[in-house]
Amino acid sequence: MKNVRGKCWTFGDDVSTDAILPSKWKTVSFEPSELGKHAMTGIDEKFPEKVSNGDIIVGGLNFGCGSSREQAPIALLGCGIRVVIAKSIARIFFRNCVNVGIYPIEADFPDDFFMDSDEIEVHFDLGVIVNKRTGKGLPFKVIPSFLSTILNSGGLKSFILGGGKYEDLF
């Protein structure tokens, strides 16, 4: 996984998939570009206008809880999100992120570590996030290598289409 740099958008605890992609949009389309127009609108109506390609989502505890709808991470992907950082990430959302090609990062950080629009760098090789505004670093636990293999393929579909098999992962 290549290191990335992007602007972050911060959210609180228990951001559910109903907030990430409200129910009324969950079946209108399955295309990232369409779903991306409604990303995070359950919590911030203006988010799709504000976000730019390569930005990073920062959540609190239990990010992505609730419904298993994969349309939620697809919506984030559709507005250019490639990395989600949170204090904890709900289990199904975590898997869905990997499967659609978003890197999920869990880390312990104080509430004021990230602020909206901070430029941050994620060093996957070192397992460290650096906030360019404050200069502070934050260690995180890198995901198991077999999940990196799926992510580096571009997600589960690309992994399988590329001939990947679960049996080869570990």
Partner 1 sequence: MVADHDDSSIINDRGLTFAEKILSLKSMSNSGPGRNAAAAGDFVISSVDFTYVHDVQGPLVIKIFEELKGEKVFDRNKVLLNIDHDFPPSSERSAELHNRMRNFASSQDCMIQEGSNCHQYILENFATPGMLIIGADSHTTTLGSLGTFAAGMGSSDVASILLTGKTWLRVPETIRIHVDSPLGPGITAKDVALEALRVLGTDGANYKSIEWVGKGVEAMTIDSRSTLTNLALEMGAKNSVVFSDGVTRKFLRGRNREPGMEIRAGDESPVFRDIYIESESLVPMVALPGSPGNAKPVSEIGARIPINAVLVGTCTNGRLEDLRRVAAILKGRHVKQGVRMIVTPNSIEVYKQADREGIISTLLESGATVTSPGCGACAGLSKGLIGKNEVAVFAGPRNFPGRLGSVDSKIYLSSPETAAASAITGFVSSIEEVDHK
Question: According to CB under 8 A, which one of 22, 48, 80, 127 is a site residue for partner 1?
Answer: 22
Does residue 42 contact residue 11 with C-beta atoms inside 8 Å?
A: no
Report the residue number, 10 or 16, with the smaller CB distance to partner 1: 16
Q: Is residue 27 at the binding interface for partner 1, with CB under 8 A as the rule?
A: yes
**Per CB under 8 A, which of residues 69..88 are in contact with partner 1?**
69-71, 73, 88
Helix (H, G, I), strand (E, B) or coil at 40: coil
Report the residue number, 106 or 121, with the smaller CB distance to partner 1: 106
Phi, psi values for residue 108, rounded to 5°: -90, 125
- Shortest gap between Cβ of 124 and partner 1 (angstroms)? 20
Does residue 97 contact residue 84 with C-beta atoms inside 8 Å?
A: yes
Phi, psi values for residue 34, rounded to 5°: -75, -50
C-alpha–C-alpha distance, residues 136 and 120, integer Å: 10
DSSP state at residue 17: H
Taking alpha carbons only, the member of 76, 88, 86, 95 closest to residue 146 is 95
User: Which listed range, 2-10, 27-35, 115-123, 135-143, lies at the site for partner 1 (CB under 8 A)?
Assistant: 27-35
Structural Rg of the chain based on CA atoms: 15
Residues in the chain: 170
Question: According to CB under 8 A, which one of 18, 37, 127, 149 is a site residue for partner 1?
Answer: 18
Q: Is residue 154 at the binding interface for partner 1, with CB under 8 A as the rule?
A: no
Question: According to CB under 8 A, which one of 115, 137, 154, 161 is a site residue for partner 1?
Answer: 161
Q: Which residues contact partner 1 by CB under 8 A?
A: 14, 16, 18-19, 22-24, 26-28, 30, 42-43, 61-62, 65-71, 73, 88, 90-92, 95-96, 99-100, 144, 146, 155-157, 160-161, 166-167, 169-170
